[in-house]
Amino acid sequence: MQVRPEADAPRRLAPDDPSLPDVLALIQQSFAFMDARIDPPSSMHRLRVEDLSASCATGEVWVIGAPRRACVVLTPKPDCLYLGKLAVAEQARGAGLARRLVEWAALRACDRGYAWLELQVRVELVENLRAFAAMGFVETARTAHPGFDRPTSVTMRRACQR
CA-CA distance, 151 to 9, in Å (whole number)?
Answer: 36
**Contact 157/126 with Cβ under 8 angstroms?**
no
pLDDT in tens, 118-148: 999 999 999 999 999 999 999 999 999 999 9
> What average pLDDT does this structure show over 61-68?
94
Contacts of 94 (CB under 8 A, 6+ apart): none
> What average pLDDT does this structure show over 90-109?
94
Domain housing 153: 6-159
> Tell me, what's the pLDDT at 162?
67
* CATH number of the domain that residue 31 is part of: 3.40.630.30
Question: Does residue 2 or residue 120 have the better pLDDT?
Answer: 120
Q: Residues of the chain with pLDDT > 70: what percent?
A: 95
Going along 17-96, which residue ranges are E strands? 60-64, 70-76, 81-88
> Tell me, what's the pLDDT at 7?
60
Domain assignment present for residue 1? The answer is: no
Check: pTM over 0.95? Answer yes or no: no
Domain assignment present for residue 62? The answer is: yes
Domain assignment present for residue 82? The answer is: yes
Q: How many domains does the chain have?
A: 1
